[in-house]
């Protein structure tokens, strides 16, 4: 699947706005295929809100991708990352206190819902936090838990509620889980370093005991875009830390840096693809 989409990115990336939107669309498809190929059957518009992007039907390869999915997996196939996530959770959930609680991060709503349902069939109770989860002031009549109720329950040491599956774009900086949880699992990630770093800070904040150990687990699919994203985020996180420590204030360069960063991400992804083709 990667070998079909990456050449399209290589050919289509020409620097204009339409081409970049098309490239972003295919990047998202590569991210989806690395975690759950069934997402490729869903309209891309359902998954682009977190980037603030709009992808038209003409820019989405729905029919092509639908045919590709049929080649790779049947409708009842359990994504390998779901199984790996379950195994990690089982290793943590037997532990007491914050060490036995976990937050799982995913950018895709369908992944959150699908993983939640799968884990429940495996006897792992969990709650979800994303845009559709109501806040206290929006509580409806169908009994759906609010964000406040979910977070309060997560902090309760006596609660069976030990797993939250969340979207990093929907869980704000004001939410602190560091007293309740020591483990984070990343089901999928994208190239945006800011929400990634903020998500890490949800369980690693000021006031955490010096002996407390925080665990981050990144699920990376072999021969997929995951590795390129992992390396890019590690570099960006290191660079952001260097900027913070240098005490430099960079103004009026945000758009330029974002543009250069996007170009660098695409160039590195294409470089990795060509290297694999000639290895």
Rounded to whole angstroms, the Cα distance separating 100 from 93 reads: 5
Rounded to whole angstroms, the Cα distance separating 220 from 140 reads: 38
Per DSSP, 185 falls in state E
Q: If you compute the radius of gyration of the chain from its CA atoms, what whole number of angstroms results?
A: 20
Burial of 194 (0-12, 13-18, 19+ CB in 10 A): exposed
Q: Regarding predicted confidence, which is higher, 113 or 260?
A: 113
Task: Provide the CA 224 distance to its chain's centre, in angstroms.
Answer: 15
Three-class SS of residue 170? coil
What does the pLDDT average to over 192-201?
89
Give every CB contact of residue 78 below 8 A, 6+ residues apart in sequence: 118
220 pLDDT more than 90? yes
253 pLDDT more than 70? no
127 pLDDT more than 50? yes
Three-class SS of residue 217? strand
What does the pLDDT average to over 101-126?
95
What does the pLDDT average to over 161-184?
85
Rounded to whole angstroms, the Cα distance separating 273 from 279 reads: 10
Q: Regarding predicted confidence, which is higher, 272 or 212?
A: 212
Q: Which domains, ranges and CATH numbers included, belong to the chain?
A: 80-218 (3.40.50.300)
Burial of 262 (0-12, 13-18, 19+ CB in 10 A): middle
Task: Provide the CA 16 distance to its chain's centre, in angstroms.
Answer: 27
**pLDDT tens digits for range 3-62:** 554 555 444 444 445 556 667 777 888 888 899 888 877 777 665 444 444 455 444 555
Question: pTM of the full predicted structure?
Answer: 0.79
Q: How many helices, marked H, and strands, marked E, lie in the chain?
A: 9, 5
Among the residue ranges 91-95, 250-254, 273-277, the one predicted with the least confidence is: 250-254
Rounded to whole angstroms, the Cα distance separating 146 from 138 reads: 8
């Amino acid at each position: 699947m990667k070998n079909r989409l990456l050449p399209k990115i290589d050919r289509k990336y020409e620097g204009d706005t339409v081409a970049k939107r098309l490239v972003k669309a295919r990047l998202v498809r590569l991210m989806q295929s690395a975690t759950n190929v069934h997402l490729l059957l869903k309209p891309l518009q359902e998954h682009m809100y977190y980037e603030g992007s709009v992808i038209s039907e003409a820019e989405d390869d729905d029919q092509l991708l639908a045919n590709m999915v049929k080649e790779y997996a049947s409708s009842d196939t359990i994504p390998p990352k779901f199984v790996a996530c379950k195994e990690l959770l089982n290793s943590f959930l037997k532990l007491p206190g914050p060490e036995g609680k976990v937050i799982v991060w995913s950018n895709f709503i369908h992944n959150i819902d699908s993983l939640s349902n799968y884990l429940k069939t495996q006897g792992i109770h969990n709650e979800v936090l994303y845009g559709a989860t109501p806040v206290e002031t929006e509580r409806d009549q169908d009994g759906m838990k609010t964000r406040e109720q979910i977070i309060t329950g997560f902090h309760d040491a006596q609660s069976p509620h030990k797993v939250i599956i969340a979207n990093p774009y929907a869980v704000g900086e004001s939410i602190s889980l560091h007293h309740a949880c020591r483990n984070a699992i990343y089901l999928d990630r994208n190239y945006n370093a800011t929400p990634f770093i903020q998500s890490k800070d949800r369980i690693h904040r000021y006031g955490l005991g010096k002996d407390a150990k925080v665990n981050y687990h990144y699920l990376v699919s072999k021969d997929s875009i995951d590795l390129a994203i992992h390396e890019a985020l590690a570099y960006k996180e290191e660079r952001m830390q260097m900027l913070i420590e240098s005490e430099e204030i960079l103004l009026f360069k945000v758009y330029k840096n974002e543009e250069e960063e996007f170009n660098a991400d695409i160039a590195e992804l294409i470089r990795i693809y060509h290297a694999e083709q000639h290895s």
